[in-house]
Structure 1
Amino acid sequence: MNKPKAIIFAAAILVWTACTNNNNTSFDASGSFEADETIISAEATGLIKRLDIEEGQSLKAGQVVGYIDSVQLDLKKKQLEAQLTAILGRKPDISVQLSALQEQLRTAEKERERIGNLVKGDAATPKQLDDINAQIVVLEKQIDAQKSSLSISSEGLSKDARTLMVQIEQLEDQLRKCKITNPQDGTILTQYAEVNEMTATGKPLYKIADLSSIFLRAYISGNQLPKLKLNQNVTVLTDDGDGGFKETEGSVVWINDKAEFTPKTIQTKEERANRVYAIKVMVKNDGSYKIGMYGEVKF
């Protein structure tokens, strides 16, 4: 083969290879990766005494990562507990305080039975029986009055005690919130606070996201919309760093039901259609996918 023919043949091979690569790497939509991010905020006001976190750190749900100064809350709780103990100590023991009158009543009832038998044998007068009956009535009324008074006093102290117990429960809730507890599995993306800084309820401490699954937000045209459905498997392509593409299977988990204008940085297969629909494709993340990374979708 002479030299001109060899050059033409080589050029033809390059063109064919480029066309082949273009066909292999064509895509139907493109976008960037994102994750469900959660900002964790303080639930108490005070000085941050400990905060064992750093950006990029993986955390588990329920993991305690720090705490906010709670000395004053703890002292207030101890004060209320002492007041509660004092109130409960003043509650009367109704059964003990009525025992003396009840014993007198039992004695009087026995005496009435004895006098009744004597009256039947004409050994005692009816007046003696009437007197003991009157005494029993007086004792019963004294017992009822004493029981009512003690019950009212006990109920009043119980109400005071319940008020204090509610206040103690409120303080215990505030003390629990002084512990900075991570609510979900994920990786810290951004840290907003440091140890020895003052924080307040609702002030952000850090941002976290579960990166085990990541989402590619892409945009499709109205003509492409009928080709997609929820839970449909699609192919996600990303640069592999060596000039090629890494392919991964993803699942369509969300399709916007309203059209929107094409974002400036996003293009669909039809070169910036006027109106597009956003979709989310979930991809299992092996660590190679990052938030903000560019990706493409084939379906």
Structure 2
Amino acid sequence: MKKIWAVLPVAMFMFSCNSEENNHDASGNFESDEVIVSSEQNGQLLSFTVQEGDSLSKGQVVGFIDSTNLVLQKQQVQATIQSLAEKTADVQPQVKLLNDQLAVQQSQLDHLINERDRYERLVKAEAATQKQLDDMNAQVDQAQKQMLVTEQQIKVQLNNTGTQNRSIMSESDPLRKQVAQINQQLSKANIVNPINGTVLAKYAEAGEITATGKALYKIADLSYLNLRAYITGVQLPQVKLGQQVKVMIDDSNGKYKTYDGTIIWISGKAEFTPKTIQTKDERANLVYAIKIKVKNDGYLKIGMYGEVKFETADKKQ
């Protein structure tokens, strides 16, 4: 009897501990929304200042990829655009020459008209013959036709030169788009951090040759972590998106540290219970994954084990 009474308190204590350990509705591990930052350009990493554990800001430039080839391509295209302007014809000298010729023709026409008026007066005075007047009218008509030809030449010269210049300058539009495309590629030579967060892993070093799509580092915002837990089909009707729950983790004193959490995701498919996960019903083979968002006070770490309690304080009472 003495032996039995000696063992009884130990057995009660173990039962109490097991009961306390199982006093949760689900359990899982903390994870984060990770972003893998990759290179958007081919070339050598001229600079890359990222270190694991660094806290980076969104928009912060953390490295630079050699873009010498792109700069040379841009300069070549810009030189081609400039050469197009040199190929265009300047119509003004030719037009000026024709305008000067037209001015001379106008002066000659004015003189002929004066002569014709004089011959008309002489014919009326019977001091000149009708043939002389007719010859003068013919000269006036010929001078007027010459002026019309010169005016037409000016129009043709302007149209032809304008068409030729437009054809040449039309080649500049695709070239300017090439410059814009190269500028966009040059902007990608800067490695820009996409989010506020902490660097979890680094995959490259300064001086290495990188390529488009090659991973450079992994970063995550650790101000909030997600507890990925698993529930049974029986528990599934008890949870909903946006539901507030209690998340518990072990602290250094052997007690629980409690956090407020919000259910942000519920899997629509059942899966076999992971070996490392405990559920409220240990006999359950199929479970549903859920994610609970928890604000991190600096104590929570990725991979840390956590437990979830769906019951409210009112239900416990």
Please report the TM-score for the alignment, with normalisation by the length of structure 2: 0.80
After TM superposition, list the pairs within 5 Å mapping 1:278-297 onto structure 2: 278-297=289-308
State the secondary structure of the residue aligned to 1:44: coil
Q: Equivalent residue for 1:203?
A: 214
The one-letter code of the counterpart of 1:186 is G
Q: Equivalent residue for 1:80?
A: 77
CA 1:20 to 1:101, structure 2 compared with 1: closer, same or farther past 3 Å? same
Q: Equivalent residue for 1:273?
A: 284
The one-letter code of the counterpart of 2:231 is I
1:237 aligns with 2:234: no
Match of 1:220 among 226, 231, 240: 231
In the alignment, the residues of structure 1 paired with residue 18 and residue 89 of structure 2 have an alpha-carbon distance, to the nearest angstrom, of 92
Q: Which structure 2 residue ranges, 5 or more long, are not aligned?
A: 122-132, 311-317
How far residue 89 of structure 1 moved from its aligned partner, in angstroms, is 3.3
CA 1:148 to 1:236, structure 2 compared with 1: closer, same or farther past 3 Å? same
In the alignment, the residues of structure 2 paired with residue 23 and residue 236 of structure 1 have an alpha-carbon distance, to the nearest angstrom, of 15
1:144 aligns with 2:141: no
In the alignment, the residues of structure 2 paired with residue 219 and residue 116 of structure 1 have an alpha-carbon distance, to the nearest angstrom, of 109
Q: Equivalent residue for 1:162?
A: 173
| Greater mean deviation of Cα atoms: 186-195 or 119-128 | 119-128
In the alignment, the residues of structure 2 paired with residue 55 and residue 74 of structure 1 have an alpha-carbon distance, to the nearest angstrom, of 32
CA 1:272 to 1:20, structure 2 compared with 1: closer, same or farther past 3 Å? closer
Q: Equivalent residue for 2:129?
A: none
CA 1:212 to 1:136, structure 2 compared with 1: closer, same or farther past 3 Å? farther
How far residue 99 of structure 1 moved from its aligned partner, in angstroms, is 4.5
State the secondary structure of the residue aligned to 2:268: coil
| Greater mean deviation of Cα atoms: 239-248 or 114-123 | 114-123
How far residue 100 of structure 1 moved from its aligned partner, in angstroms, is 4.3
CA 1:288 to 1:112, structure 2 compared with 1: closer, same or farther past 3 Å? farther
The one-letter code of the counterpart of 1:193 is A
The one-letter code of the counterpart of 1:27 is H
For the pair shown, the structure with the greater C-alpha radius of gyration is: 2
Output the aligned Cα RMSD: 3.2
The one-letter code of the counterpart of 1:248 is Y
How far residue 195 of structure 1 moved from its aligned partner, in angstroms, is 0.8
How far residue 90 of structure 1 moved from its aligned partner, in angstroms, is 3.2
Q: Deviations over 1:11-53 (max 9, x none)?
A: 49x9489749945971101111111111111111111110011
Match of 1:68 among 48, 65, 70: 65
How far residue 168 of structure 1 moved from its aligned partner, in angstroms, is 2.0
How far residue 206 of structure 1 moved from its aligned partner, in angstroms, is 0.5
Percent of aligned pairs sharing the same letter: 45
